[in-house]
Amino acid sequence: MQHIIDRFTKYIKIDTQSDPNNEAFPSTEKQWNLAKILVEDLKDIGLQDVTLDDNCYIMATLPSNVDYEVPTIGFIAHMDTSPDYSGTNVNPQIHKNYDGKDIVLNKEQNIILSPDYFDDLLLYKGQTLITTDGTTLLGADDKAGITEIITAMEYLIQHPEIKHGEIKVAFTPDEEVGKGAHKFDVKKFGAKWAYTMDGSQIGELEYENFNAAGAKVIIEGKSVHPGYAKGKMINSLLIANDFIASLPKNEIPQETEGYEGFFHLHSINGSVEKTELQYIIRDHDRKLFEDRKEQFKKTAENINSKLGQNLIQVEVKDQYFNMKEKVEPVKYIVDIAKEAMEGLGIKPIVKAIRGGTDGSQLSYMGLPCPNIFAGGHNFHGRYEYVPVESMVKATEVIVKIAEKTAKRALKN
C-alpha cells in the first residue's frame, strides 16, 4: 500500500491540467513534465521499447514470458487533469482507518467532505483515503490509473512465475478535453484489445458510454448608452437567458441518471455586445443523440425567427460515440475482466459510463477498449478522493487479466 501511495502522490503533485481552448497538442506544455517522469519510471521498472512521441503519447512493452501465442493486450490511462478545477499545488491528505465521519479538508475555509452528502464514503469505512486539502482537485482521474498500470507491470516483472503474453502500456494527453485518442497510433501500439483504467468505484466495468458533442453558442448584441437605449440596444445576455430557458429544464446533469441524456451548460462569457455559451450534449442512444443535437440547433433558429435577425450562431462538433457497438462483437474481452474481478472477490458493477474515456474513441479506431475502475470518487473538484485499497485491487485486476488472457490462449 505504501508503495502505491508514494507513487500516486508523486504524480498528482505535478500539475497536468489540460486546456479546452487551446488547439495545440498537447493543449498545455505542463503535461510534458509528468510525461518525462513516467518515461523514466517505466524504464526503471524494466519495460522495453519505452517511447514518448512528439504529441506527448507514451508507449511501452512488457514482453511475453510464455512460449505459445497469446493475444497482445494493452492498458491505457491519461495524464491530464480536468480544466474544471485547479490542479496546481495539489496537497494530498492521507486519512488512515477512516471512521465514517466528516473529513475536514480545509479548516480555514470550512470545507468538509461528508458522508451525509457523499454517501459512497461509507463504503470505505476502515480504509485509507487520500483526499485533497479543499483547494484543488486530487488528480485520481486518472493518475490513479497510471499508478495502477505501472505498479502492475512492476509486479509482473518481479514475479515471472505469473505467466502472461505481450502487454502494451500507453499514457495519453488531453483526455479531459476530448482529444486523448486523436493522435493515438493504434498500429504502433500493436494490441488486439485494451482496457482503460479510468473508472470510479471499485468493481466498475464499462463498455457503454455516452455519445458526445461539444456546442458553442455565440450571440451578437448591440451596446448603446442605457439612458438612450429604447429601440436601439440589443442585450446579448438577455437573449442568452432566453436560449438557456428554452431547453428542457429537467434534461441537465443534476436531474438525470442511468441512460438519460442531457444538455450541460458549463461556461458563460458575455456582455451586452456579445455572449458565448459553452455546452456539452450527451446521450447513450445514437438516435436520441442526433435528435438532441437537432433540438439544440432548432432552439437557436426559433429565437432568431422571433427576433427577426440571425443573432444566434450555433456550432456543434461530435466528440466521441458509444463504444458498445464496437465492443459487443468481442464481448469476451469484457468477460475476461469480469472473471478477473470475481476471482479477486470483487463484485463487478457492469454499467454504462455517464461520460467517456479514451477507450470510446479507440474502439472506433480499431482497438476495442472497455473501461475498468481506478478507484477514485467525486472527480473534477475539491471533494475528489480515492481509497488506497481500491487502487491495490485495481492493480491486482490488471495482473489477473494478464494471467487469464494467457491461460485462455493456452486452452484455445
Catalytically active residues, by annotation: 80, 175
Q: Name which of 342, 332, 358 is nearest 396 in CA terms.
A: 342
C-alpha count within 13 angstroms, C-beta hemisphere, residue 282: 22
Burial class (CB in 10 A: 0-12, 13-18, 19+), 242: middle
CB 226 within 8 A of CB 233: yes
DSSP alpha helix (H) spans, 92-249: 140-158, 186-189, 236-246
Burial class (CB in 10 A: 0-12, 13-18, 19+), 124: buried
Q: What is the spatial distance between Cα 93 and Cα 218, in angstroms, rounded to a whole number?
A: 42
DSSP alpha helix (H) spans, 46-165: 140-158
The C-alpha cell that represents 222 in the structure block: 448591440
Q: What is the spatial distance between Cα 22 and Cα 75, in angstroms, rounded to a whole number?
A: 27
Burial class (CB in 10 A: 0-12, 13-18, 19+), 258: exposed
